[in-house]
């Protein structure tokens, strides 16, 4: 005799949970990749200082601090996602 309906439903439920877990891991990995790409673009833009007027060093310092804060925030999000990829 075959499996009972309860056993079949349990297998389907297990399979659905595995699919969901794989999907979430893939989604998180994709998010890490996108955030990393954005972070690199911001870092590259920071190197391009032709739009800054360095005769105004206080504004340039504030600008660079703001950029560094953005980069740090993105890195924190990346680290958190990486921690949770396989959870």
Return the structure tokens found at 61.
């310092």
The pair of structure tokens assigned to 23 is 């999907």
Tokens describing residue 24: 């979430």
| Per-residue pLDDT tens over the stretch 38-79 | 999 999 887 776 666 656 667 777 778 888 999 999 999 999
Confidence check: pLDDT of 3 > 70: yes
Query: SS3 letters for 1-41?
Result: CCCCHHHHHHHHHHHHHHHHHHHHHHHHHHHHHHHHHHHHH
Lowest average pLDDT, out of 26-30, 54-58, 82-86, goes to: 54-58
Residue range(s) defining the domain that contains residue 31: 5-84
Q: Report the pLDDT value the prediction gives residue 57, as an integer from 0 to 100.
A: 67
- In total, how many domains does the chain have? 1
The kind and range of the H/E element at 54 are none
């Amino acid at each position: 005799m075959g499996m009972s309906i309860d056993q079949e439903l349990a297998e389907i439920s297990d399979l659905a949970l595995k699919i969901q877990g794989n999907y979430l891991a893939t989604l998180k990995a994709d998010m890490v990749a996108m955030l990393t790409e954005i972070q690199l673009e911001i870092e590259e833009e920071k190197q391009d200082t032709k739009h800054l007027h360095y005769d105004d060093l206080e504004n340039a310092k504030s600008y660079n601090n703001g950029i560094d804060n953005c980069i740090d925030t993105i890195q924190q999000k990346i680290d958190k996602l990486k921690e949770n990829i396989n959870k």
